[in-house]
Copies of this chain bind each other. A is one copy, B any other.
C-alpha cells in the first residue's frame, strides 16, 4: 500500500467551490478497483488548501492504471479551473519505520 498525498490550493475566491468539487470528484477515484480509501482534509491556517490522501494498492496501479482510465479524466474534470496548478504537490508516501 502506498499513500498518494495531493495538496491543492484554491484560486482566489474559489475556496469553497474547490472543496465541494473535490468532495464530489473523489467519488470517481473511489470507483477505481485499486483505490483502497480516500480522505479529504482542509487546512485551518490556510483554508484555501485541501489535501486528498489516497491509499492505493501500488504506485503502478495509480500511475499506469488509474491515470489511464476514464475515471481519471472525470476526477480532473471535476476540479479543473478551481486550483492553482503551479502549487499542486503530489507525492507517493510509504509508512516509515525508524
CB distance from A17 to the nearest CB of B (A): 11
Tell whether A36 is near chain B: CB-to-CB under 8 Å.
no
Specify the main secondary structure of chain A where it touches its partner: strand
Q: Is A11 an interface residue (CB 8 A)?
A: no
Determine whether A43 belongs to the interface, using a CB cutoff of 8 Å to chain B.
Answer: yes
A43 contacts B98, C-beta separation under 8 Å = no
Count the copies: 2
How many residues on A have C-beta within 8 angstroms of the other chain's C-beta atoms? Answer: 28
Beyond A40-B98, A51-B5, is A92–B23 a contact (Cβ under 8 Å)? no
User: Judging by beta carbons under 8 Å apart, are B44 and A96 in contact?
Assistant: no
Residues of chain A at the chain B interface (Cβ within 8 Å): 2-3, 5, 19-20, 22-24, 39-46, 49-51, 59, 91-98
User: Is the CB–CB distance between B5 and A96 below 8 Å?
Assistant: no
Q: Collect the chain B residues with CB atoms within 8 Å of residue A42's CB.
A: 93-94, 96
